[in-house]
Amino acid sequence: MAEQLLGKRVAVLDKGWIELIDLMPHPASGISGDLAIINAARVSFLGESKGPQRDKRLLFYLLRNRHTSPFEMVEFKFRVRAPLVTWWQWVRHRTWNMNAQSGRYTPFQERDFYLPDFWRKQSSDNKQASEGLLAQQADADLRQKLLAHYQEGFRLYSEALAAGVSREMARLFLPGFSVYYTWVCKIDAHNLMHFLRLRMAEDAQYEIRVYAKAIYEHFFSAALPWTAQAFQEYILNAD
């Protein structure tokens, strides 16, 4: 199963995606991620197993009792395309290793902007959250205005580039929070579970919640099925 994950790309939001570009242990090693965690806990040679039943029982014991260091022996590396409004949330998790596309080196394209499918209303009792959707007509009007804003910003950006302005300065014309960037990101399974617990929660901002759910459903659960079961039982359900 794990060998089918490398290179898999999942669409997120209107123009975003997330792709698994590397995994440790590598599928070619013949060692599953769950077994790598178990072997790390036993400090044994890679590939040594005491049978599925005992192995799975040990893994569940580890997570249930928060013996988390063995879970750091598994790592995921992703290539992610997401709008800056998502990245502002993501970079708060400093256990991720990240490297980002730079607008100083590569020019932006006309379609590199996030256009939401709907407008959420401000929550009445949570200053940092949204709740409910805007009425249909108001939603459509604001979508058109946002699109016009993007088109004008990109027109001015292109005009500045054509005039000889440097890419690092021309991008000042672009609507900042909505621009899509591509990043390479790496994290171990222990810290990924912490990220998923927080960012899959219903009170997490929608624009990062959809990425967290994509990671969990398409990559984490497939690469670490036993760990995903234990995570669901002892961490998500516990919350």
Catalytic residue set = 199
Helix (H) or strand (E) holding 109: none
Q: CA angle 33-191-210, nearest 5°?
A: 95
Closest to 196 in 3D by CA, of 88, 96, 64, 61:
96
Long-range pairs, 116-120, Cβ under 8 A, ≥24: 116/14, 116/143, 117/14, 119/143, 120/206
Closest to 36 in 3D by CA, of 232, 163, 224:
224
Q: SS3 for 131?
A: strand
Beta pairing, strands 180-188 & 120-122: unpaired
Q: Buried b / exposed e across 40-49, counting CB within 10 Å, b at 16+? A: bbeeeeeeee
Mention every residue, 6+ apart, whose C-beta is less than 8 A from residue 176.
84
Mention every residue, 6+ apart, whose C-beta is less than 8 A from residue 42.
48, 58
